[in-house]
Amino acid sequence: MKKTTLAVFALLFVTIAWGASFVVMKPAMEKIPVYDFLAIRFTIAAALMIAVRPQVLKAFRGPTLLYGVILGAVLSFSYVTQTIGLTLSTAAITSFITGLYVILTPIIVWILFKRRPKSIVAVGAILATVGLGFITIKDASFDFGQIWTLLCALGFALHIVGLGKWSPGKDVYALTVIQLVTVSAICWIGALPDGYQEPVDFEVWFAVLFTAVFATALAFFIQTWAQSIMDASRVAIILTMEVVFAALTSVAVGQEILSLQVIFGGVLMLAAMLLIEWPRKDMKPEEVIYEPMAH
């Protein structure tokens, strides 16, 4: 089997793990505080990655350490807001809204670096906005609890932009581990003041271990490896399957019955993500979805 073919199947495993993690976490989050859950999850994930490659600790220095801590802080914001959003909404809807990072990323690049997205991105943004409306607006009202998940999508978009700016030339594995350590440290700061609450039963422990091993440590490792042999556009297309697996898993375990309105909204958002990321013949490797700003 070719490496690229193996990478495709490995990335599909990642999307299944990420999609399923929403469903696994949903009932567990009713029994454990957000910070406590994330603290133990990311501690286990970071420990696993260090155990796999102990020499990574030698790379904890200089710009790699600085940028890793900054990116880790952004990542911790993203996961905290996402987990809070999950406690206030369903697994399927949380995963759909989280997927907006694909739309927000080029917008942030435009604002920060004056790299204007091509018209196809504008079309994708409109599709995503309409899809989000179908998912979140019910009976002419907006579920304000989902604002947490919107903040999460913004955080993930900032994280992607930061990685794109700072990761070239760095030890990617070390940068990843530093981020995980930073997230765990920040979450322990949030968890300890009112006393750490450990997982109370098998359901919570299963959610912690599943997300730590499969949705964090292994997923980060696979994604890092896959992107070393595949172009980013192909990887992004495959990773959008996360929202599909989240919805399918949610329905399969009986957490949600998807209405036609939510299904239609989800299809529009998925179409927007694929429209933006789908590779085209006119794409240049170094300029995927942007065009220079006129001065």
Interhelix angle 260-277/91-98, rounded to 10 degrees, is 30
Question: Nearest-5° angle of CA 228, CA 104, CA 143?
Answer: 125
> For 8-43, how does the pLDDT look when each residue is reduced to its tens digit (9 = 90+)?
888 889 889 988 887 888 888 889 998 999 999 999
What's the chain's average pLDDT?
81
> For 57-93, how does the pLDDT look when each residue is reduced to its tens digit (9 = 90+)?
999 999 999 999 999 999 999 989 988 888 887 766 7
Q: Which pLDDT belongs to residue 276?
A: 66
Q: Which pLDDT belongs to residue 168?
A: 75
Helix runs in the chain, H state only? 3-28, 34-52, 62-88, 91-98, 101-113, 119-136, 147-166, 172-191, 202-212, 218-226, 232-239, 241-252, 260-277
277 pLDDT band (50/70/90 cuts)? low
Q: Which pLDDT belongs to residue 95?
A: 73
Q: Which pLDDT belongs to residue 152?
A: 93
For tokens 């997927």, the residue is 99
